[in-house]
Amino acid sequence: MTDSEKQLLQSLLGRVAVLEDKLAILELMTAYGPAIDSGSAEAVARLWTEDGVYDVDTGVLRGHAAITAMVQSQAHQGWIGGGCAHMLEPGHIRVDGDTAVATCKSQLIIRDEDGFRVHRITANRWELAKIDGVWKVTRRTNRLLDGREEARALLAAGVLS
C-alpha cells in the first residue's frame, strides 16, 4: 500500500468513525420519545450518565434517581395516561472526540377533549460523552421557545460554535 493510499484509508476510517458516532447519538436521542411516552423510567434514566443532569424550565434533575422519579411522577403519569407524544426533530450534532453536542427542538403533543394539540415547543441542548464506547447524556438543557432570548441563545450556541 502506498503512502497516499494509507492516508486515504486513515481519512476514510476517521470519517466513518464520526458517522458512526453521529448515528449512535441520533439513536440515543430518538430513544427518548418512546421511552418517556411509554413510562419506561429506567430506559429514560439509562440515556444519561449516573450523575447526568436534566435542566428544564421547572427545575434541575440530577442523576438517575431524579430522572426516574420524574417519569414515575403523578404529573407525568397523567400526561401519558391521557395520551401524549414527545416529538424531537433530528438534531444538529457536533462530535469532538469523545464528547459531543446536539441541538434540536422538541414538541410535547397532548390529547384533550378536542383531539391533539401542541402543548409546548422547547429548544434542546444535549451534551454527551462517550464512555466505554457508549454515548450517554451528561447534561440536557431544555428551554421553552416562548420568546425568551435564553431559548434562542441555546439554539444558536449549537450551530454557531
Residue carrying the nine cell digits 420524574: 70
Which H or E element spans position 62? strand 59-62
CB–CB of 25/93 below 8 Å?
yes
Rounded Cα–Cα distance for residues 68 and 41 (Å) = 5
Per-residue H/E/C for 125-159: EEEEEEECCEEEEEEEEEEECCCCHHHHHHHHHHH
Q: Would you give per-residue pLDDT tens digits along the chain (161 residues)?
A: 898 988 999 999 999 999 999 999 999 999 999 999 999 999 999 999 999 999 999 999 999 999 999 999 999 999 999 999 999 999 999 999 999 999 999 999 999 999 999 999 999 999 999 999 999 999 999 999 999 999 999 999 998 86
Domain ranges of the chain: 3-160
Q: Give me the CATH topology for the region 3-160.
A: Nuclear Transport Factor 2; Chain: A, (3.10.450)
Angle between helices 74-82 and 63-72 (to 10 degrees): 50
Burial class (CB in 10 A: 0-12, 13-18, 19+), 141: buried
